[in-house]
């Protein structure tokens, strides 16, 4: 896969996908953010699937991950840990594929995550 330079590295300040606050080094902040839930499976669940498509889609894996965790908690009243475990599983991988297909079809991230029809 050809790697395209990401404009994110040129951005001085980034919004944390967990708490929504802005940090000059959001990556470092994520390790201590009280709201952000880290995946435990970076390879084969939602995270790894998304990462492979990140540059094509233009939505960072961190942002998509956190939005997916929150969407999942919203439907199922799952705890953050349970939402993370499901997204880390094979189901999370299929879910990422589905959401990416919907984004490619022109849906917004929120609609794609919620499975809304256009
Ligand atoms: Zn944060």
pLDDT in tens, 38-56: 899 999 999 999 999 999 9
Ligand 1 (single-atom ion) residues, CB below 5 Å: 16, 18-19, 33
| Tally of domains in the chain | 1
The SS3 assignment for 9 reads helix
* 19 occurs within a structural domain: no
The length of the chain in residues reads 118
* 4 occurs within a structural domain: no
* 56 occurs within a structural domain: yes
Task: Please give the residue range of the domain that contains residue 56.
Answer: 37-114
* Whole-number pLDDT of residue 2: 57
Residue 55 has phi, psi (to 5 degrees) of -70, -35
Cα of 85 from ligand 1 centre, angstroms? 20
* 100 occurs within a structural domain: yes
* 62 occurs within a structural domain: yes
* 83 occurs within a structural domain: yes
Cα of 112 from ligand 1 centre, angstroms? 24
Cα of 22 from ligand 1 centre, angstroms? 8
Provide the H-helix boundaries in the chain: 26-30, 46-57, 61-76, 80-88, 90-104, 109-114
Tell me how many degrees the CA angle 103-59-42 measures, rounded to the nearest 5: 105
* 15 occurs within a structural domain: no
Cα of 36 from ligand 1 centre, angstroms? 6
58-93 tens-digit pLDDT: 999 999 999 999 898 888 888 888 999 999 999 999
């Amino acid at each position: 896969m050809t790697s395209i330079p990401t404009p994110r590295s040129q951005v001085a300040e980034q919004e944390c996908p967990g708490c929504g606050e802005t940090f000059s080094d959001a990556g470092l902040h994520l390790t201590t953010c009280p709201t952000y839930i880290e995946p435990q499976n970076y390879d084969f669940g939602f995270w790894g699937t998304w990462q492979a498509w990140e540059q094509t889609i233009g939505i960072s894996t961190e942002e998509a991950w956190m939005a997916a965790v929150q969407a999942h908690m919203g439907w199922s009243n799952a705890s953050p840990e349970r939402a993370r475990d499901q997204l880390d599983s094979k189901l999370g991988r299929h879910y990422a594929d589905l959401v990416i297909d919907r984004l490619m079809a022109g849906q917004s991230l929120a609609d794609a995550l919620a499975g809304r029809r256009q």
